[in-house]
Amino acid sequence: MAGERGGPYVLMAVFCEKILQETDGVISVIRVVDRINIAPSGKDAPAQMPPIPLQLPTLLSFKSGFIRAKCQIHLRAESPSGKETTVASFPAFFEGDDRGVNLILNLGFQAEEEGLYWFSVYIEEDLVTRIPLRILYQYAQG
C-alpha cells in the first residue's frame, strides 16, 4: 500500500527523551536518542550485560498523501544477533492529502544484548522506514 499510490509518507520516526503535544496539536520532540550508554557501577555489577528493560518515548508521524484508508502500523525490532520481534501494532486512519497520523508511544522494550538494534516501521506489510538504536554496555571493574 505505501508508495504504490502516493502515500502514506513518513514525516518522523524517532526515539527521544520526551514528547510534548500542545493543545493546538503541535508536537515537540525533546532530545532525539539513537544511542543508550549503560554503565553499571558497584562491585556486584555483572561483566556481561543482563537483560535491561527500557522505556523509549517514540514518535511515528505520517502524512496521508493520496491514501484514504484504515491501515495497520507495525513496529518490529531486530536485535544485533538478528532475532526479530514485533514490539507494537496500531490501527491508523489516513484521511488523505496533508492530513496526518501521529503515534506517540512509550515503547517498552527489553534489550537482551549489546549492539545495534534496528526498529522497522511497516504500514500493512510495506516497510516505510527503519530507526537505529545502539546499546552500549560499559562495564568497569571497580
Band (pLDDT 50/70/90 cuts) for residue 3 is very low
**Per-residue pLDDT at 65 exceeds 50:** yes
Q: Could you say which DSSP state residue 51 is in?
A: P
DSSP three-state, residue 102:
strand
Nearest Cα to 31, choosing from 19, 41, 48, 39? 19
Its pTM stands at 0.89
CB 75 within 8 A of CB 98: no
CB under 8 Å to 103, separation ≥6 — which residues? 58, 59, 60, 61, 73, 90, 92
User: How far is residue 3's CA from residue 67's CA, in Å, rounded to a whole number?
Assistant: 10
Q: What is the pLDDT of residues 13-51, one digit of tens each?
A: 999 999 999 999 899 999 999 999 998 877 778 888 899
> What domains lie within the chain, and their CATH numbers?
9-137 (2.60.40.3880)
Q: What is the pLDDT of residues 81-140, one digit of tens each?
A: 999 999 999 999 999 898 989 999 999 989 999 999 999 999 999 999 999 999 999 877
Residue type at 27 in one-letter notation: I
**Per-residue pLDDT at 6 exceeds 90:** no
Nearest Cα to 100, choosing from 25, 48, 20, 34? 25
Between 55 and 45, the more confident residue is 55
User: What pLDDT does residue 4 have?
Assistant: 53
Here the cell at position 115 is 549492539
CB 135 within 8 A of CB 115: yes
